[in-house]
Structure 1
Amino acid sequence: ALDSAEPARGILRVTRHPVMWGFVLWGVAHLLNNGDLKSVIFFGTFTVLALAGTRLIDAKRARTHGELWAAYVAKTSNLPFQAIIEGRNRFVFAEIGIWRTLAAVLVFGALLAGHEALFGVSPAP
């Protein structure tokens, strides 16, 4: 909750918008490997919408939560790791946990290994 003593915990210490930044990373990674027009439109749209979405979400929450949101923004960042680098927050790996990290690595590995079977395109050049 925004009114707690430590409102940003876990991945929210890294960025206020972890899902949106996940879409940005996914979109950019695919844009770098796919230069055809259809891919640029598809992955570019996801990337642009995710980047714009972070700003739109911040604006909406500023309107609805006022000073509580302003205090939260002061301790967090939209851009991943910015608040940590600037000393406005700190990275606490224990809040994210080893199991979440391992789960993310396993899911990434499974999607990478099964990419051709799932999507019909090999991720390798």
Structure 2
Amino acid sequence: MRLLTGFTSSHLVMVGLLLGFAIAHSGLAALRPWGEKLIGARVYRIGFALVSLPLAVVLIIYFFNHRYDGVQLWQVQGIPGIQPLVWGLSAISFLFLYPATFNLLEIAAVQKPQVHLYETGIIRITRHPQMVGQVIWCVAHTLWIGTSFTLLSSIGLVLHHLFAVWHGDRRLLARYGEAFEVVKARTSVIPFLAVLQGRQALKWEEFLRPAYVGVMGFIGLLWWAHPLLMKGTAAIKW
């Protein structure tokens, strides 16, 4: 009953924004083979970005501005050790969200974007690092904020990424066939499961890459700029 009485219109707006982003992002990913044949890989990547990025920015700003809406389900911000735990989990989440297997030049369409089949680095830990990173990020921020709006947002984000696990595997199977089946058999969705089962072995030298230095620098920058980010988004009356 308490959840229902605290349910605000922002909850419905957030559900709509999440659905819109999920449909656009996953839908365009599904149409990629057809789109690349029609207009080319670079142009399709640019179009993908022009649709996905604005939707993501709107989603992020709206989340920041309404994160304390609804019912306060718990309050742990005053408990010693919670803030370092949340920041630590957030830092770990970015190591998964940016799995260091992306070619930035391809993302920016400077080089021809391609679909890669990886089995190195963080893929040895989990075949879907972005899903794992999103789950960790959602757990950390939902724990810290503790509102019904944040819980709803986190559930939506996690559900979208769980769908993306199925969708991503399906697209890789369609593109690579048996080669993907081999990689799938040697990796796992659940972190470290394939390692614990002896199907995969970690090679720590694969993590000694400049990309991870960049990720750590980004985490430090985000820590410093976090208050400014909150003030900036609050100035947008959404």
TM-score category of the 2 structures, normalised to the smaller one: 0.7 to 0.9
Instruction: Number of aligned residue pairs: give it.
Output: 116
Structure-2-length-normalised TM-score: 0.43
How far residue 107 of structure 1 moved from its aligned partner, in angstroms, is 1.7
| CA separation of 1:113 and 1:8: change in aligned 2, threshold 3 A | same
Work out the CA distance in 2 between the residues paired with 1:51 and 1:25. 13
Superposition CA RMSD, Å: 2.2
Work out the CA distance in 1 between the residues paired with 2:213 and 2:176. 35
The DSSP-based 3-state class of the residue aligned with 2:198 is: coil
Gaps of 5+ in 2: 1-115, 232-238
Q: Which residue of 2 aligns with 1:123?
A: none
| CA separation of 1:113 and 1:44: change in aligned 2, threshold 3 A | farther
For residue 161 of structure 2, what is the amino acid of its counterpart?
A: A
Q: Which of these residues, 59, 75, 81, is aligned with residue 170 of structure 2? A: 59
Question: Is residue 61–residue 69 contact of structure 1 (8 Å, CA) maintained in 2?
Answer: yes
Structure-1-length-normalised TM-score: 0.76
Q: Which of these residues, 199, 222, 225, is aligned with residue 88 of structure 1? A: 199
Paired-residue identity, %: 29
Work out the CA distance in 2 between the residues paired with 1:64 and 1:102. 32
For residue 11 of structure 1, what is the amino acid of its counterpart?
A: I
Q: Which of these residues, 159, 182, 186, is aligned with residue 48 of structure 1? A: 159
Q: Which residue of 1 aligns with 2:145?
A: 34
Q: Which runs of 4+ in 1 moved over 6 A?
A: none
Gaps of 5+ in 1: 121-125
Work out the CA distance in 1 between the residues paired with 2:172 and 2:208. 28
Deviation digits for residues 15-72 of structure 1, max 9, x if unmatched?
2112222222212211111222221222221122112311232234334433222111
Matches within 5 A, 1:1-125: 2=117, 8-120=119-231
Where relative contact order (Cα < 8 A, 6+ residues apart) is larger, the structure is 1
Work out the CA distance in 1 between the residues paired with 2:172 and 2:214. 30
How far residue 74 of structure 1 moved from its aligned partner, in angstroms, is 0.9
For residue 177 of structure 2, what is the amino acid of its counterpart?
A: G
For residue 81 of structure 1, what is the amino acid of its counterpart?
A: F
Work out the CA distance in 2 between the residues paired with 1:112 and 1:19. 20
The DSSP-based 3-state class of the residue aligned with 2:177 is: helix
Moved more, 81-90 or 91-100: 91-100
